[in-house]
Amino acid sequence: MSAPPAHGAALRMSRSDWATLFALSLVWGCTFPIVKLSVQEIPPLTLVLLRVGLAAVALWLIMRATNVAVPRGRRIWSMFFVMGFLGAALPWMLFFWGQQYLPSGVGAIMNATTPLWSAVLGHFMLADERLTGARLAGVLIGFLGVAVLVGPDVLWRAGVSLVAQGAIGLSALFYALSGIYGRRFAPLGLAPLQSAFGQMATATLLIAPLALAHDAPWRLPAPGALTFAAVIFLAVVATAFAFVMFFRVLASAGATNVMLVTLLVPATATALGVTLLGETVEPRHLAGMAIVVVGLLVMDGRMLAALRRS
């Protein structure tokens, strides 16, 4: 295990981190239409339970197949409960509920505020993630790119409850807090697979009583084949495998950098819409993606350093 960064040192993204982050954004870019489809047949609490429960089972099977031990110890599992609450159970309850009433584009806008929350909170809560001018400028530029990509009129067209928008915005705050809290796992020497399993297992225990009491899922009609396939993808690919990648980048690049994935998701979602659904690319889509890339480069610091050297 490598030594922790010195006080005040800024964590940088390696090429491997960037590749993992882009893969993660591709997977999570699919979740917006999937959730929108799934909540039409499955209540939000039950959908969250299916997502975290099936993901926990998939991760446990992978651990058994690869001889990775289940983490032990009261301290580790108490930390998992905090991570499961902040990073899965609570924000997904808020997000899935809000997604019933909002277009996917609005959810992407709200979700893209996570790096801004992460940068601001990390300044006060993490010694090695101080809020430098370049980092703040990069996050703000990236958020501007997301706004340009989605378009300012999407909020006007929504015509939905302000409470639903606030719920998704609040979920972004909890995502940021989970990324910051997740840094505590680095000194424990846990594998990303173990961390992901612990989070999903505890999130399942937290959400199960609420979903069973409120939704009585055994009384619900069976979902259609398309919704069933969407739930399996959401749980196994977009949760089990995706959170293994998430914890890997979190350990090596830090909380603020890993939350950059929320800026990439709208861009990848647009690309998926073009290639898979035949949607038309408008000039604002290309402009928004370009601004997002500039924001990522500014936040990473390498572009500014190269300009200073030249």
pLDDT at 36: 80
Per-domain boundaries in the chain: 15-309
Alpha helix ranges (H) inside 216-254: 225-232, 242-253
User: Which amino acid belongs to residue 227?
Assistant: T
pLDDT at 281: 65
Distance CA 287, CA 212 (A): 45
The pLDDT tens digits along the chain (310 residues) read 333 333 334 466 777 888 888 888 888 888 887 888 888 899 999 999 999 999 999 999 999 999 999 999 999 999 999 999 999 999 999 999 988 887 666 677 777 778 778 878 887 887 777 777 777 888 788 778 777 876 666 555 555 556 787 888 899 899 989 988 887 887 888 888 898 899 999 999 999 999 999 999 889 888 889 899 999 999 999 998 888 888 888 777 776 677 677 777 877 767 766 776 565 667 776 787 788 778 777 776 666 676 777 6
pLDDT at 94: 94
H or E segment and range at residue 272: helix 261-277
Contacts of 11 (CB under 8 A, 6+ apart): 5, 128, 129, 252, 253, 254, 256, 257
pTM: 0.78
Contacts of 290 (CB under 8 A, 6+ apart): 145
Distance CA 227, CA 243 (A): 22
User: Which amino acid belongs to residue 257?
Assistant: N
